Copies of this chain bind each other. A is one copy, B any other.
Amino acid sequence: MKLSKTEEQLMQHLWKLEKAFMKDILEQYPEPKPATTTIATLLKRMTDKGYVSYKTFGKSREYYPLIKKADYFSKHVNGLIKNFFNDSASQFASFFTKETNLTKEELEDLRKLIDNEIKKK
């Protein structure tokens, strides 16, 4: 089962922190911070969904993500690609290059990167 938007946001924090207690997580949120119980609910749901686990340390828990950001993201984009571009990554790439406002520098970096990838093949 997929994560909801809010849960995804929480995941971002977990990915960033790698592991975190409730208080660490709360710290990540800007004002107005959500209620502790809100986060707790989310964490519970995410745990149920199998995305998060934790180690119990005395009274409280140290939460950590069970899925790597890259993996999660990968699935995500692939869904996007499937949905919008008949499953063609290259079609997506082309679209992406045209439609996002990359600066000249960024485009050049990207080209270098692609060159490298090509060499690897």
- Give me the interface of A with B, judged by CB distance under 8 Å: 8-9, 12, 69-70, 73-74, 76-78, 80-81, 83-84, 89-90, 93-104, 106-111, 113-115, 117-118, 121
B107 pairs with A121, CB closer than 8 A: yes
Q: How many copies of this chain? A: 2
For the complex, give the distance between the alpha carbons of A104 and B104 in Å: 23
Residues of B within 8 Å of A111, CB to CB, are: 111, 114-115, 118
B90 pairs with A93, CB closer than 8 A: no
B74 pairs with A99, CB closer than 8 A: yes
Q: A94-B113, A97-B110, A113-B97 are in contact. Are A104 and B77 (CB under 8 A)?
A: no
Residues of B within 8 Å of A74, CB to CB, are: 99-100
